[in-house]
Structure formats: C-alpha cells, structure tokens
Amino acid sequence: MAPKPIRVLLPRNTQPDHDVEEVGGSVLANVYNNKNFNALPVDQPMLQAALTDFTASIAATLQGGSQATNEKNKKKHELVALLRKLGLYVQANSNEDPAILTSSGFHAASRIRIRGPLPKAVIAAVENGHTTQLLATVEKIPKAAAYELYFAPVGNDGAIGEWKHVVTVTSPRQIPVDDLKPGSTYAFKARAVGGTNGYGDFSDPVTHMSL
C-alpha cells in the first residue's frame, strides 16, 4: 500500500489563541525568503499585520468585555484564514518531503489516523554539548508528527523565566540549543505535535546548567 501524502497541520479557529499565535509567528519567521516557496499567496506584510492585530486583540481581552472578545475572535478568524491559505500552498509545493514542509514553519500532520490525544511528553535528558550549547532529548512518542522544544532562563532563586520556542523537529534526539550563557541554568519543556488535539501536553520542566 502506498504511503499517504504528507499534509500540513492546518490551524483551526477552535485551537487555543496561543497556539494559533505561535503558528503565525513560526510561519512568519520561516516561510518568507525560503528558497522552496517562490509564489506565496499571502505577502509578508499582510501576515505580519494580521498576527500583530491578533496579538493586540488578545491583550485587549484582559480588560474584559464581550466587545473585546468578539474583536479578538474576528482577528483570529482573519489570521487563521491567511495561515490556511499559506499552509495549502506549502503542502502542494513540498514535493512530498517532510523536511521541505517543516522548513516553512508549519508542522506536518501525522500520516496515521490517531484516535485520541497524544500522551504527555517526557524529556529524557539534557546534556552539555560544546561551550554555550545544551542538547535536549525527548522520549519518542509513537505516531507523533513532530516535537516542539521550549526553554527559559532560571533565576538564582530558582524561578523560571519567560518560555521561548526553540525549534520544531521530527527527530527528538539531542536537539541542540545554542548561544547560552556559560554558568547559567536553563529550564526545558517539550510537547508532541499531532493527535486529535493537535498537540500533546507539555512535559514537566527539566533544568540544566550551560558550561
């Protein structure tokens, strides 16, 4: 039986706001000036404006009120529509190559239909690579399409700072995180991409000092 064609994991309006915002940022940073995609159906300023407006509308909902929520939902629909248009273009122009597809900033959907959500990720190890580099390994999750890794600085009091997305990869072994400050401690967490919910739960944080 021939393998199923690769597909982009398209964002949905029913996803959490942060997840849609995250996909938007990933695509914005990776799909433009990408040699694999030369005739994008959405230009960079348009996607940037939609993402900026959506981020601002999320912040506005902190003040409360149905009007702010309605405006946020409208901006979310507009951003999702642009991302889905880009995602379908990427899917059609990836030559069935998962590496080309994920170079766009989108994730690849699993080729295997999965019943239920993916399990919570587990970080198996964080090790020192070369100076200022740490290598994180996530336990492999069957049927996961990809893995997302995040890191955050850890203060002297043990408090974890702001989480930042490092990379999305298809292989969870020894994921490099570079340009870290020697002598500083960092926390890492990861989650699997795929399943009926789009993402599994984040792993528990694991900390390690950079040398």
More confident residue, 171 or 49: 49
Share of the chain above pLDDT 90, in %: 70
pLDDT of 1 strictly over 50: no
180: which residues sit within 8 A by CB, 6+ positions away?
132, 133, 134, 186, 210
pLDDT of 184 strictly over 90: yes
Question: Roughly how many angstroms between the first and final C-alpha of the chain, as a whole number?
Answer: 49
pLDDT of 179 strictly over 80: yes
64 sits in the region (left: phi over 0; alpha: psi -120 to 50; else beta) called left
- The confidence score (pLDDT) of residue 4 equals 63
d(C-alpha 194, C-alpha 86), whole Å: 19
The average confidence (pLDDT) of the chain is 90
Q: How many residues would you count in the chain?
A: 211
Instruction: Check: pTM over 0.75? Answer yes or no.
Output: no
The predicted model gives 27-38 an average pLDDT of: 94
Q: Minimum mean pLDDT among 48-52, 114-118, 152-156, 188-192: which range? A: 114-118
The predicted model gives 77-86 an average pLDDT of: 97
- The confidence score (pLDDT) of residue 2 equals 45
Q: Which helix (H) or strand (E) holds 169?
A: strand 164-169
d(C-alpha 70, C-alpha 49), whole Å: 18
pLDDT of 30 strictly over 80: yes
- Show the 3-state SS of 131-164: CCCEEEEECCCCCCCEEEEEEEEECCCCCECCCE
24: Cα within 13 Å, side-chain hemisphere: 29
pLDDT tens-digit map of 97-121? 988 999 999 988 765 554 578 899 9
pLDDT category at 198 given cuts 50, 70, 90 is confident
The number of beta carbons lying within 10 Å of the beta carbon of residue 208 is 21
d(C-alpha 175, C-alpha 129), whole Å: 10
Are 89 and 47 within 8 A, CB to CB? no
d(C-alpha 37, C-alpha 46), whole Å: 17
More confident residue, 1 or 131: 131
- The confidence score (pLDDT) of residue 113 equals 54
pLDDT tens-digit map of 5-26? 788 999 988 888 888 999 999 9
Are 148 and 168 within 8 A, CB to CB? yes
Separation in Å, CA 22 to CA 29, 79, 97: 11, 11, 23
The predicted model gives 133-153 an average pLDDT of: 92
Instruction: Enter the tokens of residue 20.
Output: 């849609």
- The confidence score (pLDDT) of residue 3 equals 52
